[in-house]
Protein backbone atom coordinates (compact mmCIF):
# COMPACT_ATOMS: atom_id res chain seq x y z
CA UNK A 1 0.00 0.00 0.00
CA UNK A 2 1.45 3.40 -0.97
CA UNK A 3 1.70 6.33 1.44
CA UNK A 4 -1.29 8.19 -0.03
CA UNK A 5 -3.56 5.15 0.32
CA UNK A 6 -2.31 4.51 3.85
CA UNK A 7 -2.87 8.16 4.73
CA UNK A 8 -6.45 7.99 3.45
CA UNK A 9 -7.05 4.83 5.46
CA UNK A 10 -5.71 6.47 8.63
CA UNK A 11 -7.83 9.59 8.09
CA UNK A 12 -10.89 7.32 7.73
CA UNK A 13 -10.03 5.65 11.05
CA UNK A 14 -9.60 9.08 12.63
CA UNK A 15 -12.98 10.16 11.25
CA UNK A 16 -14.69 7.09 12.76
CA UNK A 17 -12.90 7.68 16.07
CA UNK A 18 -14.11 11.29 16.21
CA UNK A 19 -17.68 10.41 15.22
CA UNK A 20 -17.74 7.79 18.00
CA UNK A 21 -16.60 10.57 20.36
CA UNK A 22 -19.61 12.67 19.24
CA UNK A 23 -17.55 15.19 17.23
CA UNK A 24 -19.57 16.73 14.40
CA UNK A 25 -17.36 16.61 11.30
CA UNK A 26 -17.64 19.77 9.18
CA UNK A 27 -14.88 19.23 6.60
CA UNK A 28 -12.20 16.80 5.49
CA UNK A 29 -8.92 17.93 3.93
CA UNK A 30 -9.91 21.60 3.85
CA UNK A 31 -7.32 23.45 1.82
CA UNK A 32 -6.69 27.01 0.80
CA UNK A 33 -3.70 29.03 -0.33
CA UNK A 34 -2.24 28.88 3.19
CA UNK A 35 -2.21 25.10 3.50
CA UNK A 36 -4.48 22.24 4.52
CA UNK A 37 -6.08 20.86 7.65
CA UNK A 38 -7.07 17.21 7.83
CA UNK A 39 -10.40 17.52 9.66
CA UNK A 40 -12.54 20.42 10.89
CA UNK A 41 -15.17 19.62 13.47
CA UNK A 42 -17.35 20.78 16.34
CA UNK A 43 -16.62 19.35 19.76
CA UNK A 44 -19.24 20.84 22.06
CA UNK A 45 -18.89 24.61 21.88
CA UNK A 46 -15.48 24.46 20.16
CA UNK A 47 -14.57 24.71 16.51
CA UNK A 48 -11.68 22.24 16.27
CA UNK A 49 -8.98 21.91 13.64
CA UNK A 50 -7.58 18.38 13.72
CA UNK A 51 -4.20 17.31 12.40
CA UNK A 52 -3.90 13.55 11.90
CA UNK A 53 -0.40 12.04 12.16
CA UNK A 54 0.34 8.36 11.72
CA UNK A 55 3.41 6.25 12.43
CA UNK A 56 3.66 2.51 11.85
CA UNK A 57 5.65 2.24 15.07
CA UNK A 58 7.77 4.48 17.30
CA UNK A 59 11.01 3.93 15.34
CA UNK A 60 10.37 7.19 13.44
CA UNK A 61 9.58 9.12 16.61
CA UNK A 62 6.32 10.15 18.19
CA UNK A 63 3.60 10.97 15.67
CA UNK A 64 2.56 14.12 17.56
CA UNK A 65 6.09 15.54 17.34
CA UNK A 66 5.62 15.85 13.56
CA UNK A 67 3.30 18.80 14.23
CA UNK A 68 6.18 21.24 14.59
CA UNK A 69 6.09 25.03 14.95
CA UNK A 70 5.99 25.60 11.19
CA UNK A 71 3.03 23.22 10.78
CA UNK A 72 1.25 24.79 13.75
CA UNK A 73 1.57 28.25 12.21
CA UNK A 74 0.20 26.96 8.89
CA UNK A 75 -2.77 25.35 10.64
CA UNK A 76 -3.53 28.66 12.37
CA UNK A 77 -3.48 30.48 9.01
CA UNK A 78 -5.80 27.88 7.52
CA UNK A 79 -8.12 28.25 10.52
CA UNK A 80 -8.30 32.02 9.95
CA UNK A 81 -9.26 31.48 6.31
CA UNK A 82 -11.84 28.82 7.23
CA UNK A 83 -13.47 31.11 9.79
CA UNK A 84 -13.57 34.01 7.32
CA UNK A 85 -15.40 31.77 4.84
CA UNK A 86 -17.76 30.38 7.50
CA UNK A 87 -18.80 33.48 9.41
CA UNK A 88 -21.53 31.55 11.24
CA UNK A 89 -18.73 29.62 13.02
CA UNK A 90 -16.29 32.51 13.46
CA UNK A 91 -17.42 33.45 16.97
CA UNK A 92 -16.87 29.96 18.38
CA UNK A 93 -13.79 29.38 20.50
CA UNK A 94 -11.10 27.60 18.48
CA UNK A 95 -9.00 24.62 19.46
CA UNK A 96 -6.17 22.81 17.69
CA UNK A 97 -6.07 19.08 18.34
CA UNK A 98 -3.77 16.33 17.15
CA UNK A 99 -4.76 12.73 16.55
CA UNK A 100 -1.51 10.80 16.95
CA UNK A 101 -1.94 7.34 15.51
CA UNK A 102 0.76 4.82 16.31
CA UNK A 103 0.08 1.30 15.15
CA UNK A 104 -3.51 0.62 16.17
CA UNK A 105 -3.56 3.17 19.00
CA UNK A 106 -5.18 6.59 18.58
CA UNK A 107 -4.15 9.28 21.03
CA UNK A 108 -6.32 12.41 21.01
CA UNK A 109 -4.33 15.42 22.18
CA UNK A 110 -6.83 18.16 22.87
CA UNK A 111 -5.61 21.75 22.76
CA UNK A 112 -2.26 20.48 21.44
CA UNK A 113 -0.96 23.99 20.78
CA UNK A 114 -2.18 27.58 21.16
CA UNK A 115 -3.33 29.86 18.33
CA UNK A 116 -0.30 31.45 16.65
CA UNK A 117 -1.82 33.87 14.22
CA UNK A 118 -2.58 37.50 13.80
CA UNK A 119 -6.31 37.07 14.02
CA UNK A 120 -8.78 38.15 11.39
Q: What is the domain extent for residue 20?
A: 1-62+90-115
Residue 2 in any domain: the answer is yes
At 59 the pLDDT is: 55
User: Can you name the residues that pair with 36 across neighbouring β-strands?
Assistant: 31
Tens digit of pLDDT for each residue in 37-96?
999 999 999 999 999 988 765 655 566 777 899 999 999 999 999 999 999 999 999 999
Residue 39 in any domain: the answer is yes
Q: How many domains does the chain have?
A: 1
Residue 69 in any domain: the answer is no
Domain CATH for 44: 3.40.1350.10
Amino acid sequence: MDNRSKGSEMEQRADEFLRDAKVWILAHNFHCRFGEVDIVGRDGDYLVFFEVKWRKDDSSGDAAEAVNDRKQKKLCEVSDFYRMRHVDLAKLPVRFDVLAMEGEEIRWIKDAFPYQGKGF
